[in-house]
Structure 1
Amino acid sequence: MSSTTEPDGATRPPYDAPGDPVAELRLVLADDNPVVRTGMANLLATIDGLDVVGVARDGREAIELVEQLHPDLALLDVRMPQVDGIAAAQHIAATVPVLMLTHSDEPEVIAAALAAGARGFVVHSEFAIDELVAAVRTVAAGGVHLSPSAGAILAGAAALSMAGGNASAATGPAQTWGLSVREQEVMDLIAEGLTNSQVASRCYLSEKTVKNHVNRIFAKLGVTSRAEAVSLWLRR
């Protein structure tokens, strides 16, 4: 059966500045390590606007909890018994945004998680509380968040693969799917985890123009989500 909900005795000092509106987000958390699971659940429960409604010991329980509780976001570890986090993400991501929260930082694991539908990847040993909160809210809102190390690992793996003389490197530059120079610039920033608003600011464009670029990029890449686009782009 699924594990119990909401950590007992959790307090909620506000994280956001006084007066800022905070949208309540209902979270399901899955990790097979009981110390990590309890610690993360208690930590998240202290953040104003975040409500840990369910905790799971493995991917199977996470799937069950998501089906029962319909949360706004599922946070999954990668390596868990019964059903691992990547397999669970394949089920969950169809209806609920998924953020991987794990110690694993191997390039193939990060790429597999994004391909499975996860919209974010945060490495346990490297995040600060503000980054975790930003990742939770970004992914719950439909955005993509890769911790700096995860993005750098994937980018480095792609560069190393090309330098090694694989087929695509031997025949020319990395595949760009017909993206214009500006669209490639926008896609690079999306792969860094920037929102449309942040891309607009970085490129000195209006947010509407960035949205138009993103729509054309998705059409050229044949994807329907930022997570799919990022996964495909970083593996090119």
Structure 2
Amino acid sequence: MFADNWITFSRVDQLLVTGGGYLHGHGSSAWPHNDCAANPRCKMLLFTMRFEFVTNSRINYIQSIDSRSGHFDLYGCTHDVEIWNVQCGPGHGFSIGSLGKYNKEEAVRGITVRDSSLRETQNGVRIKTWASATPNLASDIIFDKIYMDNVDNTILIDQQYCPHCNSEMQQSNVQIRNVTFSEVRGMSSSQLAVKLHCSKNVPCQDIKLININLAYHGPDGPVASSCINVKGKLYGIQLPSGCL
């Protein structure tokens, strides 16, 4: 269960992974063993497929089912990536981060995720940085035409990630800028459908919310949004009402 990864591609240029098969993570059987929020010596759950230092490559027609971690997790030194036509869930959703944990991480930039859907995932589209992060940058990121079906944390920027410390006392040093959430619609499983909580040290810059239409029918009240240390603009439909 805690092996490194099922499949790893490392230091490859012009890689093509295709076929039409699927990777079944059996995540529901593994999630109870993930105690990383309380155990600093925890073992990370494996990835079904991992790419390290891979350039100029393409992955087509591969299905990820019942993921143990995020269906797509993007970390430092990732740039110029386009992801589209992905259907996933359950699992953690689309995540960029956690960023800034290690010294001398390279920036993440030029990421586009579009024309995709998530069902019953723990997060929708998320950018996450460590609360006590070393200086870094995440920029030029687009989430476009994403459909949510009963998804928690549908739109999330979290710059206070620190599962083993009092994150409220720390501020991230990862600059997040030029991020667009466009045509994100569907059903949120949490009342706070849009949560953009950025760092006081380096507030998020140039954040755009375009035609957001997220419903919530739970017991906690009307669907809501929350923004902290964010500079940006709203365009078109905004449900929940925008907080920028």
- Give TM-score scaled by structure 2 length: 0.31
Bigger share in helix: 1
Bigger share in strand: 2
